[in-house]
Amino acid sequence: MIDSSNQDEQKKTLNLLRTAHQFFTTLFYFFIFLQLTADANIIKGALRIMKKLSVALLCLTVVLFVLSTQLPQSQQEDAHVASQEKTSDVAVLSSSVRQALAAKRDATPLGASREEELNEAEFRQQAYDPPLHRPKGTRRGNVHKEANRMVGEYGWVFQRYVPSKLELDFYDAVAPYARSVSWKPLIEQFRPRIEKMMRLSKGRVAPHTPFVRSDDLAVECTHYVFNKRRSSGGSANETTAVGVEPANRATCLDSTEPMDDDTFSKFEYVFRCIEEPCDPRHLINAPYRLGETHVSYIEPLVGLLRHPQVFLDDAKKRDYVENKEYMIVDKWALHHLYTRWKHPQPLRSHYFDLGASMYLSGAGGSSQVWFVGLSECMCVPFTSMRLWEAKVRPVKKLWDDVPGHLHPYYQWYNHPLSVDTRSWKNPLNHLIETVNPGEPVFMKVDFDALRLERVIIDTILERQDLLSGLIDELFFEHHVVLGGMTFIWEAKTIDRNATARESIDLFVALRNLGIRAHPWV
């Protein structure tokens, strides 16, 4: 919780600054008035002093003005955090509700029978409750119990996450350094392997500079989606051997270089019946065999969980701290997982931004424009963007910055989000309510409220009964005790109980659920 006495002190300082600013401004105008009206011959000496005083007063008022405009920003941020912290208390309360619901769920053997057990009154009541707060409910506009649209479908399903040897070795080696400031021996120990990783990941990682959408992109994506993707199953060996298929060759982020299993971690997928019962006759024309596997690679969880240069090179640290050119986003999965492989294309794709800032600016650079470019490069351009930003932003600038063609898809919530599972201001409720199974989802969690971010992540981990398979790519900045990051993270934003190892554990937990979780900048 935010210290309330600290807030009072800030408020007092602000009031003092404002009063002083007003007083000196008035005095300044008074001196100017005197100089203009007074008879120069009579008070010649006094005029000289007044001129000097006027200049000094002008400077003073400018300084005071700047100070008084700076202070409210920080206050506002604190107020946001405070309001968020308040809702987190509710979230804690709601955990008891969750437990009660879980107990109720556990009392019934299967999800299907649970649904049937709900009586009509419960069912009606749940229609307008947020999804996270109901065991299994309906959607707005759909008053019937929703059928699982994956039943009877064959598709690509996440099987397991396999951390690379590099990731495992680093996890062991970082233990003695976890709370240490200097990581020099560790850096030297891993330098060759991490440099190799950087070399190999070229052409596979999303570039840091915002993507520029070209006219050719639509042509490329048409090519990718139709001509290449659908024939990708023709050669099973190619898909399983290196994780890169020829389908990717002609489009954005489509390196065909093989990846090194020792260096890069991987996701394994299998082609099978998604939800029984399935009819094997549906597989007759399918380009994949039952039990066929696919491997997709991802950056290993090593170093400072940022761009490797931040870990390797102290001198370049500041240049690379916001650099995003280390994350491997999986184009194959975005077009093949679940039943995506057989649809002409995924028409809807979603972006959830928790801590959105503005379209062209933000604390960590312009992430929105980066994500939009990335989705276009991946041939899944966002058709729904939901953005939460607690700090009040100028409306005119906001809409002037957002390109017109994104307006129909841009849903801007300029109010603090909630982590309470009972609240419709909880983005995860929006996720469950609006995303259909199989639609690609990108989510960024970075609103710099430590505990609340963690509640969101924990909810994702805990509520897999509702959130399973809904998030494809997750981007999350985890502030933990990391010797090399103290130069940028404020002490109050760091989780003192967690170190690099806990952070890796958290990302691995997410990856074990099939979510491609990336440490964010």
Partner 1 sequence: MCTVALVCAVAVAVVMLSKRDAEKFFRVATLAAQDEARLQAATVAPQSAEPVEQSLFSVSETAVPPRPIIDGLTPPEGHKLVREIGTAPLNRSPNSTAGKRGDFRPRSSRLHPLQGVYGWVFKRYVPSPLESEYIAATRAPDASLTALRAKFQTRLEAVVKQSAPHVLPRSHDFLSRVDDLAAACGQHRSNADVSLAGSCHDDPTVMDESLFSYFLYEFRCIEQPCAALPSSARNAIGDLHKSFIEPLVGDLKHPLAFLSASSTASHGTSRESVLIDKWALHHLLARNTIPVPHRKSHYFDVNSGVFHPDTSKSAQAWFIGVAECLCIPFTTTRLWDGFSHRLSEVWDVLPDYLHPGYQWFNFAPSGDAYSWRNPLNHLLEKVNIGDTVFVRVSSAEGTRVERKLMQLLLQRLPDLAPIIDELFLEIPLTFEQASTTTLTDKVFVADALNSFATLRAAGIRAHGW
- For residue 259, give both structure tokens: 């990846």
Q: Does 141 help bind partner 1 (rule: CB under 8 A)?
A: yes
Which of 62, 61, 68 shows the shortest CA–CA distance to 25? Answer: 61
- For residue 268, give both structure tokens: 């394994």
Q: How many binding residues for partner 1 (CB under 8 A)?
A: 63
Cβ distance to partner 1 smaller for residue 469 or 484: 469
- For residue 76, give both structure tokens: 């506002």
- For residue 496, give both structure tokens: 């003192």
Q: Does 56 help bind partner 1 (rule: CB under 8 A)?
A: yes
Choose the binding region for partner 1 from 13-21, 39-47, 230-238, 421-429 (rule: CB under 8 A): 421-429
Cβ distance to partner 1 smaller for residue 88 or 434: 434
Cβ distance to partner 1 smaller for residue 208 or 230: 230
Cβ distance to partner 1 smaller for residue 380 or 482: 380
Residues 379-408 that bind partner 1 (CB under 8 A): 379-383, 392, 395-396, 399, 403-408
Q: Report the nearest approach of partner 1 to the CB of residue 30 (Å).
A: 17
Query: Is the link from the previous residue into 277 a cis peptide, with omega within 30 of 0?
Result: yes
Question: Is-contact 433 352, C-beta < 8 A?
Answer: no
Classify residue 129 by burial, with Cβ atoms within 10 Å: 0-12, 13-18, 19+.
middle
Angle 401-351-247 from CA coordinates, rounded to 5°:
110
Classify residue 53 by burial, with Cβ atoms within 10 Å: 0-12, 13-18, 19+.
middle
The radius of gyration of the chain's CA atoms, rounded to the nearest angstrom, is: 28
Q: Report the nearest approach of partner 1 to the CB of residue 8 (Å).
A: 23
Cβ distance to partner 1 smaller for residue 184 or 397: 397
Q: Report the nearest approach of partner 1 to the CB of residue 422 (Å).
A: 9
Classify strands 441-445 and 473-476 as parallel, antiparallel or unpaired: parallel
Question: Is-contact 136 111, C-beta < 8 A?
Answer: yes
Element (H, E) at 256: none
Site track 196-225 with partner 1 (rule: CB under 8 A), x = hit: -----------------x----x--xx-xx
Cβ distance to partner 1 smaller for residue 124 or 496: 124
Contacting residues toward partner 1, per CB under 8 A: 52, 55-56, 58-59, 62, 120, 124-125, 127-128, 130, 139-144, 146, 149, 213, 218, 221-222, 224-226, 344-349, 379-383, 392, 395-396, 399, 403-415, 423-425, 429-430, 433-434, 436
